[in-house]
Amino acid sequence: MDIYDKLIQMPKFHKKDLLSSPLDTPELPPGHLDGFDPYLDYYDPVRTLISWKAPSRPYRKKERSYYTTVVLLILLVSLIAFLWGERLLIGALLALGFLVYVLNHTPPGEIDYKISTQGIIIGDHFYHWEELDSFWFSEKEGIKILNVLTKFRFPGLLMMVMGDTPEDELKVICARFLPFHEIAPKSTLEKWSESLQKNFPLETPQK
Protein backbone atom coordinates (compact mmCIF):
# COMPACT_ATOMS: atom_id res chain seq x y z
CA MET A 1 0.00 0.00 0.00
CA ASP A 2 1.57 3.33 -1.06
CA ILE A 3 1.44 6.62 0.83
CA TYR A 4 -1.51 7.92 -1.22
CA ASP A 5 -3.68 4.92 -0.31
CA LYS A 6 -2.86 5.44 3.36
CA LEU A 7 -3.93 9.07 3.15
CA ILE A 8 -7.20 8.09 1.48
CA GLN A 9 -8.03 5.76 4.37
CA MET A 10 -7.17 8.33 7.06
CA PRO A 11 -9.97 10.27 8.86
CA LYS A 12 -11.26 13.39 7.21
CA PHE A 13 -9.58 15.85 9.57
CA HIS A 14 -6.19 14.13 9.21
CA LYS A 15 -6.38 14.28 5.41
CA LYS A 16 -7.31 17.96 5.53
CA ASP A 17 -4.44 18.69 7.91
CA LEU A 18 -1.86 16.91 5.71
CA LEU A 19 -3.11 17.76 2.23
CA SER A 20 -4.06 21.41 2.69
CA SER A 21 -2.68 24.45 4.43
CA PRO A 22 -4.39 26.25 7.35
CA LEU A 23 -5.24 29.04 4.91
CA ASP A 24 -7.59 26.68 3.07
CA THR A 25 -9.82 26.22 6.12
CA PRO A 26 -13.23 27.76 5.29
CA GLU A 27 -14.49 30.62 7.41
CA LEU A 28 -17.31 29.89 9.84
CA PRO A 29 -20.76 31.03 8.64
CA PRO A 30 -22.47 33.96 10.39
CA GLY A 31 -24.33 33.00 13.53
CA HIS A 32 -22.23 29.84 13.89
CA LEU A 33 -22.48 28.22 17.33
CA ASP A 34 -19.03 27.69 18.82
CA GLY A 35 -19.94 24.36 20.42
CA PHE A 36 -20.81 22.64 17.13
CA ASP A 37 -17.88 23.36 14.85
CA PRO A 38 -16.14 20.07 13.90
CA TYR A 39 -12.82 21.83 13.26
CA LEU A 40 -12.82 23.40 16.73
CA ASP A 41 -13.79 20.06 18.25
CA TYR A 42 -10.77 18.50 16.57
CA TYR A 43 -8.14 21.18 17.17
CA ASP A 44 -9.37 22.38 20.59
CA PRO A 45 -11.58 19.70 22.19
CA VAL A 46 -11.37 21.20 25.71
CA ARG A 47 -12.81 24.71 25.80
CA THR A 48 -15.48 26.91 27.38
CA LEU A 49 -18.68 27.04 25.35
CA ILE A 50 -20.46 29.75 27.35
CA SER A 51 -19.89 31.60 30.63
CA TRP A 52 -21.69 34.23 32.67
CA LYS A 53 -21.81 35.81 36.14
CA ALA A 54 -24.97 35.71 38.27
CA PRO A 55 -26.11 35.34 41.91
CA SER A 56 -25.32 32.02 43.55
CA ARG A 57 -29.01 31.37 44.28
CA PRO A 58 -32.42 32.84 43.44
CA TYR A 59 -33.18 35.84 45.61
CA ARG A 60 -36.01 38.34 45.99
CA LYS A 61 -36.39 40.70 48.90
CA LYS A 62 -39.35 39.59 51.00
CA GLU A 63 -42.05 41.79 52.44
CA ARG A 64 -42.41 42.25 56.20
CA SER A 65 -45.58 40.12 56.15
CA TYR A 66 -43.47 37.13 55.08
CA TYR A 67 -41.30 37.19 58.21
CA THR A 68 -44.32 37.85 60.43
CA THR A 69 -46.12 34.79 59.05
CA VAL A 70 -43.04 32.60 59.43
CA VAL A 71 -42.55 33.66 63.06
CA LEU A 72 -46.22 32.98 63.90
CA LEU A 73 -46.07 29.53 62.32
CA ILE A 74 -42.89 28.60 64.20
CA LEU A 75 -44.35 29.84 67.50
CA LEU A 76 -47.55 27.88 66.94
CA VAL A 77 -45.79 24.63 66.06
CA SER A 78 -43.29 25.15 68.90
CA LEU A 79 -46.16 25.54 71.36
CA ILE A 80 -47.69 22.26 70.18
CA ALA A 81 -44.27 20.57 70.40
CA PHE A 82 -43.83 21.92 73.95
CA LEU A 83 -47.16 20.45 75.04
CA TRP A 84 -46.06 17.09 73.60
CA GLY A 85 -42.70 17.34 75.34
CA GLU A 86 -40.74 17.45 72.06
CA ARG A 87 -38.00 19.88 73.04
CA LEU A 88 -35.65 18.73 70.29
CA LEU A 89 -38.30 19.65 67.73
CA ILE A 90 -38.50 23.14 69.20
CA GLY A 91 -34.75 23.57 68.76
CA ALA A 92 -34.97 22.35 65.17
CA LEU A 93 -37.79 24.80 64.43
CA LEU A 94 -35.82 27.72 65.86
CA ALA A 95 -32.79 26.74 63.77
CA LEU A 96 -35.02 26.49 60.69
CA GLY A 97 -36.48 29.91 61.37
CA PHE A 98 -33.00 31.42 61.68
CA LEU A 99 -31.95 29.78 58.39
CA VAL A 100 -35.04 31.11 56.61
CA TYR A 101 -34.29 34.60 57.91
CA VAL A 102 -30.65 34.53 56.80
CA LEU A 103 -31.39 33.15 53.32
CA ASN A 104 -34.16 35.63 52.63
CA HIS A 105 -32.67 38.70 54.28
CA THR A 106 -29.07 38.46 53.03
CA PRO A 107 -28.56 38.95 49.27
CA PRO A 108 -26.34 36.25 47.71
CA GLY A 109 -23.01 37.08 46.15
CA GLU A 110 -22.30 36.64 42.45
CA ILE A 111 -20.31 33.67 41.15
CA ASP A 112 -19.02 32.50 37.78
CA TYR A 113 -20.93 29.90 35.78
CA LYS A 114 -19.23 28.06 32.91
CA ILE A 115 -20.33 25.31 30.52
CA SER A 116 -17.48 23.62 28.70
CA THR A 117 -16.98 20.63 26.45
CA GLN A 118 -16.03 18.66 29.57
CA GLY A 119 -18.78 19.67 31.99
CA ILE A 120 -20.24 22.44 34.15
CA ILE A 121 -18.35 24.76 36.47
CA ILE A 122 -20.19 26.58 39.27
CA GLY A 123 -17.80 28.78 41.22
CA ASP A 124 -15.01 26.46 42.36
CA HIS A 125 -16.91 23.22 41.72
CA PHE A 126 -16.62 21.17 38.54
CA TYR A 127 -19.10 18.50 37.38
CA HIS A 128 -18.20 16.26 34.46
CA TRP A 129 -20.88 15.49 31.89
CA GLU A 130 -20.71 11.80 32.86
CA GLU A 131 -21.76 12.79 36.39
CA LEU A 132 -24.85 14.64 35.15
CA ASP A 133 -28.21 13.19 34.10
CA SER A 134 -30.55 15.71 32.41
CA PHE A 135 -31.64 19.35 32.45
CA TRP A 136 -34.64 21.66 32.29
CA PHE A 137 -35.58 25.30 32.85
CA SER A 138 -37.76 26.75 35.60
CA GLU A 139 -38.62 30.08 37.16
CA LYS A 140 -38.54 30.94 40.86
CA GLU A 141 -39.30 34.31 42.39
CA GLY A 142 -39.42 35.69 38.84
CA ILE A 143 -35.85 34.47 38.20
CA LYS A 144 -35.00 32.04 35.40
CA ILE A 145 -33.01 28.98 36.46
CA LEU A 146 -31.17 26.24 34.59
CA ASN A 147 -31.67 23.00 36.53
CA VAL A 148 -29.26 20.11 36.01
CA LEU A 149 -30.00 16.76 37.61
CA THR A 150 -26.91 14.93 38.87
CA LYS A 151 -26.17 11.26 39.51
CA PHE A 152 -25.15 12.05 43.09
CA ARG A 153 -27.21 11.98 46.26
CA PHE A 154 -25.69 15.34 47.14
CA PRO A 155 -25.92 17.60 45.36
CA GLY A 156 -28.80 15.89 43.58
CA LEU A 157 -29.67 19.03 41.62
CA LEU A 158 -27.63 21.97 40.31
CA MET A 159 -29.57 25.23 40.16
CA MET A 160 -27.85 27.81 37.97
CA VAL A 161 -29.26 31.35 37.95
CA MET A 162 -29.30 32.34 34.28
CA GLY A 163 -29.15 36.11 34.63
CA ASP A 164 -29.24 37.67 31.16
CA THR A 165 -28.05 34.51 29.40
CA PRO A 166 -30.47 33.53 26.57
CA GLU A 167 -32.42 30.35 27.31
CA ASP A 168 -32.28 29.17 23.68
CA GLU A 169 -28.49 29.31 23.65
CA LEU A 170 -28.19 27.34 26.88
CA LYS A 171 -30.70 24.78 25.60
CA VAL A 172 -28.76 24.17 22.37
CA ILE A 173 -25.45 23.76 24.21
CA CYS A 174 -26.71 21.54 27.05
CA ALA A 175 -28.81 19.37 24.71
CA ARG A 176 -25.60 18.37 23.01
CA PHE A 177 -24.57 16.47 26.15
CA LEU A 178 -27.74 15.83 28.20
CA PRO A 179 -31.41 14.93 27.65
CA PHE A 180 -33.85 17.85 27.96
CA HIS A 181 -37.12 17.75 29.92
CA GLU A 182 -39.86 19.57 28.01
CA ILE A 183 -41.93 19.53 31.21
CA ALA A 184 -39.99 20.27 34.40
CA PRO A 185 -40.06 17.22 36.72
CA LYS A 186 -41.40 17.90 40.21
CA SER A 187 -41.25 15.73 43.29
CA THR A 188 -44.26 15.13 45.52
CA LEU A 189 -42.75 17.49 48.11
CA GLU A 190 -42.38 20.28 45.52
CA LYS A 191 -45.98 19.86 44.34
CA TRP A 192 -47.21 19.92 47.94
CA SER A 193 -45.12 23.00 48.70
CA GLU A 194 -46.42 24.88 45.64
CA SER A 195 -50.00 23.97 46.49
CA LEU A 196 -49.52 25.14 50.08
CA GLN A 197 -47.92 28.39 48.96
CA LYS A 198 -50.76 29.00 46.51
CA ASN A 199 -53.53 28.41 49.04
CA PHE A 200 -51.75 29.78 52.12
CA PRO A 201 -49.28 32.46 50.92
CA LEU A 202 -46.67 33.61 53.41
CA GLU A 203 -46.71 37.10 51.95
CA THR A 204 -49.59 39.52 51.49
CA PRO A 205 -50.45 39.46 47.75
CA GLN A 206 -49.30 42.62 46.04
CA LYS A 207 -52.01 44.65 44.31
The per-residue pLDDT for range 31-57, each reduced to its tens digit, is 344 455 665 666 677 899 999 999 998
Q: Is residue 93 part of a domain?
A: yes
Q: CB under 8 Å, gap of 24 or more: what pairs does 159-163 form? A: 159/57, 159/58, 160/54, 160/113, 160/120, 160/122, 161/54, 161/55, 161/56, 161/57, 161/58, 161/113, 162/52, 162/54, 162/137, 163/52, 163/53, 163/54, 163/55
Residues 12 and 71 grouped into a single domain: no
Residue type, 70: V
CA distances from 169 to 25, 32, 51, 130, 178 (A): 26, 12, 11, 21, 14
* 199, part of any domain: no
Whether 158 is in a domain gets the answer yes
Distance CA(5)–CA(10), nearest Å, equals 9
pLDDT given at position 131: 96
pLDDT attached to residue 41: 67
Q: What residues make up the domain containing 130?
A: 48-58+110-186
Same domain? For 128 and 74 the reply is no
Output the tens digit of pLDDT for each of the chain's 207 residues: 554 454 344 444 443 443 444 444 444 444 344 455 665 666 677 899 999 999 998 887 777 777 787 788 888 888 888 888 888 888 888 888 888 888 777 888 999 999 999 999 999 999 999 999 999 999 887 899 999 999 998 899 999 999 999 999 999 999 999 999 998 887 776 666 666 666 656 666 555
Let me know whether 95 and 164 are in one domain. no
In a domain, 169, yes or no: yes
Element (H, E) at 188: helix 188-199
Residues forming a β-bridge with 139? 144
The answer to whether residue 33 is domain-embedded is yes
- Same domain for 147 and 94, yes or no, is no
Count CB-CB contacts under 10 A for residue 69.
16
- Whether residues 91 and 158 share a domain: the answer is no
154 shares a domain with 121: yes
User: 52 and 125: one domain?
Assistant: yes
Q: Is 85 inside a domain boundary? A: yes
Same domain, 72 and 170: no
Same domain, 54 and 129: yes
169 and 120: one domain? yes
The domain that holds 148 is classified in CATH as 2.30.29
92 shares its domain with 123: no
Residues 68 and 165 placed together within one structural domain of the fold? no
- Per the confidence metrics, is the pTM higher than 0.75? no
Q: Look at the chain and report how many structural domains it folds into.
A: 3
